[in-house]
Structure 1
Amino acid sequence: MRVVLTGASGFLGWHTRLRAHAQGQHDVVAVTRENWADLSALVGSADAVVHVAGVNRGSDDEVERGNIALAEDVAAAVRAAGHPVRVVYANSIQDGNGTPYGTGKAAAASALTALRAEGHAVVDVRLPNIFGEHGRPRYNSFVATFVHAVAAGESPEVADRPVELLHVQDAAQALLDAVTTDAERLDPRGTEVGVQEVLDLLHEFEASYSTGEFPDLSTPFRIALFNTYRAALFPQRYPVLLQPHSDARGTFVETVRSRGGEGQSSISTTVPGVTRGEHYHLTKIERFAVVQGRATIALRRMFHDEVVEFAVSGEAPCAVDMPTGWAHNITNTGDDVLLTQFWSHELFRPDAPDTFPHPVAQEAGA
C-alpha cells in the first residue's frame, strides 16, 4: 500500500518510518513541516494516511489548537482525494482528560472519525507514554529527560508514581497494524513501572556501561531502555577503549563483559579493501571489536545525511556498539587481513534476524 506518514521526521514518525522500511510492506511517503503544503496532493495518490504529526509543547492554546488544525488538514486532504482513504490516527490515552493536550487530541479524533460517515475507514490508536531512542529531553517524555541527565552525570528529582511505558518501536508496530486491521480502535499496552524505578535502572546502566560492560539485559523492557540510553551516548562516548594485557607470550584483551541475558560472539576475517555490514537493526545490540589490522567503521542514522566514522586498529584495541536504526559497516583499510569480533545481545534466529540490508553511503530520505 501507498501510505502517507505525517510527522515523519519527529520522534514517533521516524520510528514508524524505520519500522515500515524494515518490513518492506508499504511504500511510505514522508510528510514533514517542509512539505506539509503538499499534503492534499500526496494523499490524493495514497491508500492510507498514518497521522502522527502533533503539538506537544507550547502555550495552552498552541497545543490545543495546533493538534486540531493538523487533524483538520488531514481530514480535508482525505475528502479531496476522491477515493476511500484509510486513516490511522496516533491518539493518546490523555484524550479528553481536560488538559489542553488531551482536549486537542480528543477534538482531533472527532475531526478524523467524522470521515467514517463519508466512506473512509478510520482507526484510532490510543498510545500510552512512549519512550525510545532519539527522544528529545523535556519534550518527548520524562524518560528522555532522565536519559540525558544521567548521561551528563546528573541525578534529577523524582516525583514517584506508577506509569505505563510503551517502547516507540512497539507503538510504531501498532500504527502499522492499524493500516490493515478491521478494528476501529487499538489500545496497545506497555509496561507498568515506577518513575523512580526507571531512574534507578538508568543509573545501573551508567555504572556498568561506563566501564564498557553491558548491564543485565534479561527482559524486553531492560533491552528497550538500554537501547534508549546508549543512543544518547552516541557518538560522543565511542569507541570504547579496551584494556590489553601483554606479556612475553602475547596480548590478551577482554572484548565483551555482560551481566545477564543471552549473548552470541563470532569472529571474522576480512581481506584488504572489503566492506562488511551495510545493514541496520531495530532492537539488536551489536558490538564490533577489531583485534588485528586496521579498519573504518561507518554509521548513518536512517533518513539522515551525516555519516559518522571511526578509524580503529588492533594496535589500540577498542569497540564500537551499533545504535539501533543506524546503517553501519566496517571496511578493511589496512594491508593485511582484518580480524574482528562481533557480539550481539541475543542468539541469531534465522526466522527473526533483526538485520535489514541498507547501505551507509546513501542520500537522506532513503
Structure 2
Amino acid sequence: MKIAITGGHGFLGWHTASRLRALSGVDAVRLGREHFADPQRLATSLAGVDAVLHLAGVNRAGSDEEVEQGNVALARELAKALRREGRPIDVVYANSVQAELDNPYGRGKAAAAAELAAVVQASGGHLADLLLPNLFGEHGRPAYNSFVATFAHEVAAGRRPTVTGDREVPLLHAQDAARELLDSVGRTERRTVEAEPRAISEVLTLLEEAHTLYATRGEIPPLPGRFEVNLFNTYRAAAFPAMWPLSPQVHSDNRGDLFETVRSHGGTGQSFVSTTLPGQMRGDHYHLHKVERFFVLKGEAEIRLRRLLHDEVVTFRLSGERPSFVDMPTLWVHDIRNVGSSELVTMFWADQLLDPDNPDQYPEKVALP
C-alpha cells in the first residue's frame, strides 16, 4: 500500500512515517508546505497513492483568523488534488478534540473535516476522522508542539520552568497517535482517541526527577508504566547528544578498578556483554520505545547514530582506557564498531526484558548509500 502523509516532515508526520517504516517496511510519500504551495506538484505526488494521512495543520499564526482559515485552506487544497485523481482514495484526518469547541483552531479543524468528507464521499473512498488530544514525544518543538516539549527542553538545559494555571491535560504519545492513524486506514469513522490525563505540575516533576538522576550520573529513573517511559524518552531526545558520553566514578585499589555500569530505580532490565573483533560492527537498527545503553569496558569503539528519516550522523569515540557509555535515543539508528587493534568488550543494558516475538528492534543502516 502506498501512503502519503501531509505534514510529513513535522512532529507527528515524522513519528508516523517512522512507525510505518518500522512495522511495514514502507516509506511514506511525505508532503510538506512546498507541495501545498504548488497545486500541480501536490496532485502529481498523489499519483498511485492508496491512502492519505492528512496531518498538516496550523496551530500557531499571527492572528486567530490565520489559524482558522489556514486549516481550512490546507484541507481545501488537498480536496482539489484528490478530486483531480478521480478515483477512491482513503483519507485519515488528524483532527483535534478542539474541533468540538468554539475557538479559531477548533472551528478551522472542524471545517477542514467537512471539506475532506465531501470529496472522499463523492469519490467512494473512506474517511477516518480522528479527534486527537494533546500530543507529546521525541523531538517535539518547544514553545510550539506542546508544553511537554517546552518543559523537556528547559529541564534538559538545566533550567526550571514554572507552572501557572495547573490542571489535568489529556496526553497521548506521538507513537500511539501514529498507531491509531495507521490502523484507521480504510475505515469510515469519526472518533475521539483516548488519552491519559496528567497534571501539568506532575509532568514537570517527573521530568525534573529524571534530570536529577540522569543528567550527571546516567541513573535510570523509576519507569513504572508506559507513560513514564514515553516521557523519559521525550526528555532523553531533548538531552541528546549534548550530555554524552558519560564516565562513571572509578574506585581503584590494589586489586584493580570497580565502577557502576547501570543504576536503575525500579522496573525491569536486562544486561549482556559482547566481544567484537577489530574492524567488526554490531547494531544497524533502531527502537521505538526501548531505553538502551552501550558501555565500553575494553578496547576502542566508535558509536554512530542517525535520527530516522534524517541524514546527519552523530559520532562518539569511546575507549576502555576511560570506561564510558552512551544511551541510544529512541528512533535513532545506531551501530558500534571496533576501531582498535584488540578485542572490544561492550556491556549492553535495556530497560525491558527481551521478548523474542516483539523485540522492538528494526533493521536500518546508519550509513546512507
TM over 0.5: yes
Q: 2:44 aligns to what SS in structure 1?
A: helix
Query: More deviation in 241-250 or 230-239?
Result: 241-250
What letter is aligned with 1:97?
A: L
* Selected match of 1:51 from 30, 51, 54: 54
**One-letter amino acid of the counterpart of residue 89, structure 2:** V
For the pair 1:243 / 2:261, whether they are aligned, the reply is no
> Partner of 1:134 in structure 2?
139
Instruction: Tell me the CA shift for residue 152 of structure 1.
Output: 2.3
Letter in 1 for 2:53: V
Match of 1:319? 325
- In the alignment, residue 283 of structure 2 is paired with which amino acid? G
Indicate the residue corresponding to 1:257 in structure 2. 263
Distance 1:74 1:151 in 2: 38
5 Å-filtered alignment, 1:166-205, equals 166-180=172-186, 182-205=187-210
TM-score by length of 2: 0.96
In 2: Cα distance, 1:21 partner to 1:186 partner: 25
Shift, 1:27, TM fit? 4.7
What's the C-alpha RMSD, in Å, of the aligned pairs?
Answer: 1.2
Distance of aligned partners of 1:25 and 1:322 in 2 relative to their CA distance in 1, 3 Å threshold? closer
More divergent stretch after superposition (90-99 vs 6-15): 90-99
Distance 2:351 2:10 in 1: 28
CA contact (8 A) 1:166 1:191 kept: yes
- Once residues 42 and 153 of structure 1 are traced to their aligned partners in structure 2, the CA distance between those partners, rounded to angstroms, is 43
Q: Does 1:151 align with 2:156?
A: yes
User: Which residue identity is paired with 1:228?
Assistant: T
> In 1, Cα distance between the equivalents of 2:354 and 2:195?
26
Matched residue of 2:294: which SS? Answer: strand
Contact 2:134 2:146 in 1 (8 A): yes
| Superposition map of 1:76-91 within 5 A | 76-91=80-95
In structure 1, what is the Cα distance between the partners aligned to 2:101 and 2:2? 34
**Structure 1's 80 and 113: CA in aligned 2 closer, same or farther, altered over 3 A?**
same
Structure-1 separation of matches of 2:71 and 2:21: 27
Structure 2 unmatched runs, 5+: none
Count residues with an aligned counterpart. 362
Residue 94 of structure 1, aligned match among 98, 106, 109? 98
Range that drifts further, 351-360 or 234-243: 234-243
Q: Give the conservation status (yes or no) of the 8 Å contact 1:44–1:77.
A: no
Structure 2 residue 305 is matched with structure 1 residue 302: no
DSSP-derived class of the 1:94 partner: helix
- Structure-2 residue corresponding to 1:67: 71
Residue 190 (structure 1) shift = 1.5
Alignment of 1:19 onto 2:19: yes
Q: How far off is 1:327 after superposition?
A: 0.4
1:40-77 CA distances to partner (integer Å, 9 max, x unpaired)?
11213111100011111112122111111111111111
From 195, 201, 217, the equivalent of 2:223 is 217
Structure 2 letter corresponding to 1:19: R
Identity of aligned residues (%): 54
Task: Tell me the TM-score normalized by structure 1.
Answer: 0.96
| Alpha-carbon distance in structure 1 between the residues aligned to 2:154 and 2:98 | 26
